Amino acid sequence: MFHGSIVALLTPFKGGKVDETAFQSFVEWQVAQGTHGLVPCGTTGESPTLSHEEHNRVVELCIEAAGGKVPVMAGTGSNSTEEAIALTRHAKQAGAQAALVVTPYYNKPSQEGLYQHFKAIHDAADLPIFIYNIPGRSVVDMSVATMARLAKLPNIVGVKDATADLSRPSRLLQEVGPDFIQLSGEDATALAFNAQGGVGCISVTANVAPALCSAMQTAWAKGDLKEAFRLRDVLSPLHDSMFVETSPAPVKFAASLLGLGSDEVRLPLVPATETARAAVRGAMTKAGLLS
């Protein structure tokens, strides 16, 4: 169900509040542009600064706007196991097809702690779960051995790998086989990840270039490597610009240039600087997104 270009949705704000109208319009645009899947309330959606009520509401809005046309993988992770269980149960009730659960940040659990955290969520919420392994933000790195152990649980179905270690998908593939869904969390190396055993990317860049990201993944899946590599090269400068400063400030500015919402972020994040804005404008123009 989850493959290809899956967008890590930004959460538009207006006057400090979630802009529900802009968000649903944005989701509808993503679907129309060919995005293969939707992830609300991930890192790009500024989930750490959403209240529980806002978090649940954003998931509901996304599922409603998607209208069953593409699957929704709701971000439901937390460094509190009980909180992650509650968010995952809500995602199930709201109609999400899966949950994306980040490795617990700040607590620095051991590998056994990671296993027990995910097992507790698995046992408490009847919903397919993707492990979100992003040591650059959560500090801890789930080992291949721990992930393989978790993959034996029936509802632990895949991973969003943001380790930037391109040997990881191949090693995990040897341990768990091809049915475990491996998705990249790094736009710049998405095709290389596929070559190592992945089947798609949960993408930041797809917020502003959904058609290009979708076309690249589709070309790869069809074996049209020439077209996939061409699109990779078109997108490469854009990927770089999305992370010239802390995400999602650059991508929110990029979205604002396309009329897809404001560039407003919540503290402790701040809007993109003029230097970052110039880099984003230049990359978007080069990719043909701006004239």
Please indicate, yes or no, if residue 64 is contained in any of the structural domains: yes
Q: Give the domain range for residue 208.
A: 4-223
Is residue 161 within a helix (H) or strand (E), and if so which, with residue range? Answer: strand 156-161
**CATH number of the domain bearing residue 101:** 3.20.20.70
Average of pLDDT values for 3-29? 98
- Would the pLDDT of 1 be above 90? no
246 annotated to bind ligand: no
Annotated catalytic, 115? no
Question: What pLDDT, in 10s, does the model give residues 175-226?
Answer: 999 999 999 999 999 999 999 999 999 999 999 999 999 999 999 999 999 9
Region 80-95: mean pLDDT is 98
Q: Is 262 within a domain?
A: no
Q: Which pair of tokens denotes residue 174?
A: 């040897």
DSSP single-letter state for residue 89: H
To the question of pTM greater than 0.85 for the whole model, the response is: yes
Residue 129 has pLDDT above 90, yes or no: yes
Active site residue 106: no
Retrieve residue 251's tokens.
Answer: 């991508």
Q: What is the pLDDT of residues 278-289, one digit of tens each?
A: 999 999 999 999
Average of per-residue pLDDT across 252-258: 98
In a domain, 82, yes or no: yes
- The total number of structural domains that make up the chain: 1
Average pLDDT, the chain: 98
> Annotation-wise, does 44 bind a ligand?
yes
139: pLDDT strictly greater than 90: yes
CB atoms within 10 A of CB 77: 30
pLDDT tens digit sequence for 218-250: 999 999 999 999 999 999 999 999 999 999 999
Radius of gyration of the chain (CA): 18
Q: Report percent pLDDT > 70 for the chain.
A: 100
**Is 246 domain-assigned?**
no
Q: Which of 17, 132, 226, 252 is catalytic?
A: 132
Which residue in the list 14, 119, 152, 160 is annotated as catalytic?
160
Residues 6+ apart with CB under 8 A from 74: 39, 40, 41, 59, 62, 63, 87, 88, 91, 94, 96, 98, 99, 100
